[in-house]
Amino acid sequence: MYNEQVDGPLDGGHNDNELKIRKRKALDAFHAWNDVTGFIIGGTSYEGELESLIEDAVEIGFYGEIKC
């Protein structure tokens, strides 16, 4: 069970600005890769879905890094 005194704050002590920076870096890396490979056509729903998945993955890593 979660105990804030033992485990610390739920967000691992990170702030929202740091999370936004990490998401932006991940999306920049994705777009740089996609520009080289041409794997996904820009502006499509596929691109939006991949961006959403990348943001979710960053959040999982961001909030879970203290526990891992």
12 or 42: which leads in pLDDT: 42
CA 65-59-10 angle, to 5 degrees, is 60
Tell me which of 5-9, 29-33, 64-68 is least confident. 5-9
What pLDDT is recorded for position 48? 95
| 16 to 6, 21, 23, 60, 62: CA distances (angstroms) | 22, 9, 11, 14, 10
The structure's pTM equals 0.71
Q: What is the C-alpha separation between 53 and 61, in angstroms, rounded?
A: 12
Closest of 6, 14, 1 to residue 64, by C-alpha = 14
